[in-house]
């Protein structure tokens, strides 16, 4: 049986530590094309993961023969551009969080997904843990009744990453995280885009609540990126909620 052909746009820290090794662990999947900037870095990815086709031009990757899907793991502010281009090529997409930086971009992508009839996945891994699945099942079964209030708090040991410093958790990674991606608010850096998206995705998936209003405060790091977040929400069924976190 032919292998599923997958391309990767943005072969940096997270893609080389997670996406590419995980995809290569499946016998029926081939990472057949990779795109990232920097010729030497690109060559090192090609050699380490034995990828046939590598390029610095994502348009060239999307035109690679036989490609069926792509992983978008580029810097946050490029997700919309790369994901939209892949969908226009009728490719399935796994797009790292945050999906995009603006609500208007998200709506445009959803419309494009529906028109092209493609799969589009954001890898919110917490949604598929045992405790999350159990919580969702109990809510859907009606066991706990109608939700009146929900509270989700997320903390992670990444204060250095969102403050523009080298993260201790990177260890001996193949590539170190690019500081600007995570700590520069101009390109989507900050705790909300980098981590709190997990809490939001988890809460909305477990509860299936639809937000109608929200209000938030944030504290910032020395780079100006948000470092702590506190958000109050009202949902369509009248329930209230609080989401927050900090590294």
153 and 57 part of one domain:
no
Q: How far apart are CA 205 and CA 208, in angstroms?
A: 5
Please report the pLDDT score of residue 170 as a whole number: 65
8 and 118 part of one domain:
yes
Angle made by CA atoms 15, 19, 24, in degrees to the nearest 5: 125
Question: Could you tell me the CA-to-CA distances from 159 to 102, 151, 163, 245 in Å, in that order?
Answer: 24, 22, 6, 11
Helices (H), the chain: 13-14, 20-24, 39-49, 58-62, 79-88, 103-116, 130-140, 159-162, 179-183, 191, 197-207
Q: How far apart are CA 177 and CA 198, in angstroms?
A: 19
How many structural domains does the chain have? 2
110 and 140 part of one domain:
no
117 and 133 part of one domain:
no
Please report the pLDDT score of residue 168 as a whole number: 79
Which DSSP helix (H) or strand (E) runs through 99? none
Residue 212 has phi, psi (to 5 degrees) of: -120, -25
The CATH code of the domain that includes 96 is: 3.40.50.720
108 and 142 part of one domain:
no
- Beta-ladder partners of 31: 6
- Beta-ladder partners of 151: 242
User: Per-10-residue mean pLDDT for the chain, 247 residues long?
Assistant: 95 95 96 97 96 98 97 97 98 97 97 98 94 96 95 92 83 84 94 94 96 96 95 97 95
Q: How far apart are CA 177 and CA 96, in angstroms?
A: 15
The CATH code of the domain that includes 204 is: 3.30.360.10
Please report the pLDDT score of residue 179 as a whole number: 87
Tokens of 110: 């959803």
196 and 215 part of one domain:
yes
């Amino acid at each position: 049986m032919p292998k599923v052909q997958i391309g990767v746009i943005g072969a940096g820290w997270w893609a080389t530590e997670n996406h590419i090794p995980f995809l290569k662990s499946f016998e029926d999947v081939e990472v057949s094309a990779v795109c990232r900037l920097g010729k030497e870095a690109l060559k090192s990815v090609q050699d380490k993961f034995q990828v046939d086709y590598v390029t610095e031009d994502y348009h060239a990757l999307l035109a690679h023969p036989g490609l069926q899907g792509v992983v978008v793991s580029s810097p946050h502010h490029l997700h919309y551009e790369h994901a939209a281009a892949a969908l226009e090529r009728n490719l399935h997409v796994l797009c790292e969080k945050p999906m995009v930086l603006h609500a208007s971009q998200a709506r445009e992508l959803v419309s494009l997904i529906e028109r092209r009839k493609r799969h589009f996945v954001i890898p919110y891994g917490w949604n598929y843990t045992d405790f999350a699945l159990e919580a969702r099942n109990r809510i859907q079964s009606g066991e706990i009744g109608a939700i009146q209030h929900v509270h989700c708090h997320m903390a992670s040991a990444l204060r250095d990453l969102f403050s523009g410093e080298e993260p201790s958790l990177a260890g001996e990674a193949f590539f170190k995280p690019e500081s600007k991606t995570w700590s520069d608010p101009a390109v989507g850096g900050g705790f909300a885009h980098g981590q709190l998206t997990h809490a939001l995705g988890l809460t909305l998936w477990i509860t299936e609540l639809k937000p109608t209003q929200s209000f938030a405060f944030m504290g910032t790091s020395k780079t100006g990126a948000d470092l702590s977040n506190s958000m109050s929400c009202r949902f369509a069924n009248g329930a209230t909620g609080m989401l927050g976190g900090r590294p």
